[in-house]
Structure 1
Amino acid sequence: FSITAKEQYFIPGTEDTRLNNACNSDPVCPPKCRCESNVVDCSNLKLTKVPEHIPSSTSELRLNNNDITTLEATGAFKSLSQLKKIIRFTLLTQRFSLYSNLSNNKITEIEDGAFEGASSVIELHLTANQIDSVRSGMFRGLEGLRMMMLRNNKISCVHNDSFTGLHNVRLLSLYDNQLTTITPGAFDTLQALSTLNLLANSFNCDCRLAWLGDWLRSRKIVTGNPRCQRPGFLKEIPLQDVALPDFRCDEGQEESSCVPRPQCPSECTCLETVVRCSNKHLHALPKGIPRNVTELPVIVPAAALPHSRSQCSPTTIARERPCSCAQAVLALEALMEVAVLPGGHSGLAVSRYLDGNQFSIVPKELSGFKYLQLVDLSNNRINSLTNSSFSNMSQLTTLILSYNSLRCIPKMAFGGLHSLRLLSLHGNEISELPDGIFNDVTSLSHLAIGANPLYCDCRLRWLSDWVKTGYKEPGIARCAGPQGMEGKLLLTTPAKKFECTGDVDPEVLAKCNPCLSSPCLNQGVCQSDLMEIYRCSCPPGFKGKNCETALNACVSNPCANGGTCRVDEEEEGEYICKCPLGFEGPTCQTNADDCEDHDCENGATCVDGVNNYTCFCPPYYTGEMCEEMEDVCAPERSPCKHQSTCLITPTGPKCVCSPGYVGDDCSVDYNDCGDHRCQNGAQCIDELNGYSCVCHQGYSGQLCEVPPSPLSLCELADCQNNAPCVERGGRALCQCPPEFGGPRCEKLVSVNFVDRDSYLLLSDPKNWPQANITLQVSTAEDNGILLYNGDNDHIAVELYQGHVKVSYDPGSQPGHAIYSTETINDGQFHTVELVTYDQMVNLSIDGGLPTTMDSFGAVRTLNGEAPLYVGG
């Protein structure tokens, strides 16, 4: 007993368990399928495609009775090296959203290479489908196949390329198809064929089948006796029994090829691979469009085209034969009548024109056309895209969506379009695009986005930067807002201009958030819907796009002010309101006017109420109807002031004022100074029923009419600072205290300091820096400030170790200083004299020889605005 290195990791039958070895991260069994003893049964599950994650040890795969429409070339069989049998693809087509009558169709297409990697499969059952032709590419990868069951399909012809590569097939069943002819050599590639079933077919035994009778007789591998059905004289005659001369053709029918001709929908006209379905008022894509279609061209007058094409110019389109285009085109432009793209399309189609129709959304079936290179959906009514509108179109290079009604595009609408080079969004209603919407379109070199109301605030700055990289936009797109950005080009406007300076226009926000404007009425709930812009979920009793229509006319309580609603039995959807007293109108919205016949008196104002009215009385009247006059002169209500007399009159109270008062209520004291007789500038003071005069100094009398007596010389001298005055020689002399001087002793000439921290501040020294300052100093201190002036550049006089030091610092120049030879800190009074003149300073102590400091060079003038400090 031995085991190889490869075999030791696989033991047949282990993969039918639900829990796999911890080292195996692959799923053991596809969801909903049943797995047992290497058999994967996925039948009767309504699958639409071959499931993923099929166990690699699978030897039999059952996919019968599902909803798979197309067997795609996904490489699903490349990992199934143990697969031996694929049981009956009895595949029902999936339902399309519009036509339920397509639900019972069967599989029609197997993509080339769908079985790549399935070289171990020995049995393939494709019974009971609607396969109408076979080609070698369908079965590429089935080199080990031994049994092929193609029973009960619609195959009409077998040609010499149908089974190329199937060297090991031993049993081939074409029972119950629609075979009419078989090309000579059709089975030559089936070198191992030993059993062939051709029964239940409609063979046309003309000259093209003459070879088959001899071949069947020589090979002896046919099951039963396949019989002729045409021409009439050979009907039901076994093929092997027909004499060679009876296999004859009419003149012109000798062609031996049976390569399938493209079928053509009845609504269209076909020429080779060109199918025309223009202006047919289609509501669905016609059935039976050929798999290899390359063009479905449109015949449109040149003047009717909105813009020219690089492949087909307007002047060449309107002609009898289709124009020759450089690449495949799917054009769905100027669509007038079509609501959705119908079913029955082929994943192999790479070009299509369906003009003269009307699309409001991108048909979801488009995603099945994997080989499309150009899609033109211009001149439609498409108002929105979804993230799956163009899914699976990895080969798409040109997408034209111009002249539609696009308002909002989701971020992943162009996801996966790696080959896209040209995108036209021209002529829509787009105001903004999400950042990152072009992340997947790495090949995009041309973007047409002109004729859109672009809102160029900071949220669209990324687009401006993006189009400037490689000049992807030709300089046509312009901004429509916000204010200040109107008309500016997206390509050339600096990115810094894209600013968010205020609230965004609500109409712009509503394009991608239509619920922002609260369109749903009657408490309906708004939900964004890419297909319908928005959708309202209406509360019970309402319907309509905006929940505006009431199912029961009374459900919205239309009667106001407590009115009772009753459904009108004569008019559908109408109601009748029974109003309470005091209200009238269709919905009881009007309060009846009870003031039309009121009894208010004395000019009172009538105010309407509910089934009543109220009288608002004018001043001085009271009562329900304002019929009584009030006692306005009662003590607590009289308006008269200052003991005035109150009189009742028809117009209200009247005041008779006491002497000295005036005004309607006698509150104003009469100003007796209005015509006073005070003299000599005297001030008049108003008093009750009179006035008095306040005289200036020296004047007297009731009216200040008596002038003052003459003043003495000393009274006129005005000596200040408490200086006494004496008259000598006919003039007044002010005797100043020691520290004051001047004619009136108004000048401070000396200051005595007693406290050690005392100082004198002169805020405006005269003639500084030309000055003569003398200080009487008595101190025992060694150091201290005697005088200081300046801020940045200063002069200072100070005690330094008992000597007098004068220093001068001009700021940018080196400082200067001089010292006295004498010391003055002996407690005696010393005279310090300082003379300054421009750049020169003289210092003298007690009248001795001066010490001079002369500043050489350019010296700044000292700051005369800085205060001068003495002492401190």
Structure 2
Amino acid sequence: MHLLWVWTVLSAAYTVLTEGCPVGCKCNHPTQVFCMSRKNPSFPRTIPPSTISLYLFENGISSVEESSFSGLWDLQLLDLSHNNLSNLPGGVFKTLTNLLNLDLSSNQITEISAETFQGLSRLERLYLNENQIRSIHPDAFRGLENLLELKLTKNQLVVHPAFSLPHLLLLDLSYNAIPVVRPEIFHARNIESLRLAGLGLKEVPSDLLNELKNLHELDLSDNHLTKVPSGLRGLTKLNLAGNMEISQLQPDDFSGLSRLQDLDLSRMSLRTLPKGLFQFTPRLYGVSLAQNPFNCVCLLSWLTEWLRVSGAALHRSDETRCHFPPKNAGKILRNLQNSDFGCPIPTTVFVPTTLALTSTAAPPTSTNPRTTYTPIDTTTTIAPNNPTEEPAVPTQYDQLCPPQTCLNGGFCRLDPLGEVKCECPLGFYGMYCEMLSADFSEPPEMELQVLEKTSSSLKVDLQSYIQSKNDLPGLRLTVQNLSGLDNRPDTYQLPSTLPHYTLKGLNSNSTYRICLGSMRDISGETELCSEAQTMGESPTPSAHITQTKEGSLTLVLVPAVAAGILLLVVIVSAICYTRRRREKAQSCENAGPLELEGVKTGLVEKGELKKLSESPSGTERGWESEEPLMDSSRVGNNNETPTGRLPHSYF
């Protein structure tokens, strides 16, 4: 009897818990309803009045009405994301007076009216990202004084919405078309996280940042900024990634960011970073420098040491690689040693007391050491014998620029501070002469350079072509043998990160036409072509020595046979000449094939020579000895293998 009573109570409780759960939904808890992926355009009915959290995402719902939420007085979370909502009637949510979180992201909403969010006085989080919102009424957010987060990412806004939200902590306006952000429209001075990525901003007003005293996170990625905004204060996270117009940074750009912990400088146009750039950010524990065209010369060598000493994490280190010079191109920057940057080795140079002094003081009586920098494998010049001459003391950075640092024929040098300076030819400008002046519509004609030549290979320079192009998907290298019978071109697909490429398995003493172009350019209009000749291959000195016994016998018989034939020709000629004079008739008509007429019309003709070459007899095969004997171990054409052409090396 007791068990029956318990069973009755449990059954009644289960009935209460599951009563009113919509079809296709799951009500695991009396306060939570999950209606996921129902693919039903109608709003679900019979939602339990005790529901606190209602999840209706991916249901295909196309419209909602005020009656849809009737009786849901306790509702605090409403998720209507990933549906087909395009219009929100005014006051549709006004009965949800206790609602704290409203997610309307990933719908097709185009407009926010003044009455859309009427009655949501307790709302804290409003997500409207990834819609098609073009306009927002100035009074749309009136009454939402408790709002903490507002997300409007990826809409079609062209004007910044106006609002007065005193407690707002997060504002996300990213990836709209708002080219100008005005400080006066912000009435939310307590914002901690401001996201303005992908708006097309060319500058950020310093007044805007000065007003936001509580700002900790600032996202300005994927804009058109030309420099780091001024007035940055108190930030812990700064994102400047994707601002391709920024090619240089100044040492004091982050001077006001003593609390900065995370910095993103990826996908910019940075070729170098000034030493001391992070001296004002002692708390920096993570930095991203990926996808920048770094020039890994001595000027940048301080970075790897700073990463080691500071302990800061280099995010996406595999994507942080060198672009110049060619010897470091493609290498991971963090893995480079100080010597890899081409830095000079510090040495001590002793300057004798005979050096001329500019002051009137008496010269010292001892030799004073002076520390300077000299290039590797370069001897230091000691003081001259004549004390009146200027002493030859090495400069602090007396080293040559890495090869191909300057583009378009520019001349490279290092200034006294060790910084790279390019003297550009007429018509070009920029740090590396990479920019074309407006007065010159076309750059000077480039030539495809062949760096090394051997009898079977050609090393082709790719770096010059890569530097002159932007966004290369890949390279197309075409090779055509102009000296052989087969003039069909061969095409190779190469990555656009190689400084050079070696063509192997070529024929010796042959002229090749080499063309380099982009994989995207099918027409070949932007191809860079050149002709180069492989070196001739000299015979191996030991070729005649390392023959078999049969080959050696042939070498001995060839001169003897040739001499015998020549003697026989002379004798036959004499006999015929004598018969002609005596008989004055056709006494030589029956002469053998080795008589005078036969020799003249037989051996001299190509046909007879060919027969002699093809004859299996050892004597007649002696004519082949005029050509150098080939070593039996050699391969006639090393450009072919049983499976096709020999693989080519990238290096």
Say yes or no: TM over 0.5: no
TM-score, normalised to structure 1, is 0.24
Of Structure 1 and Structure 2, the greater strand share is in: 1
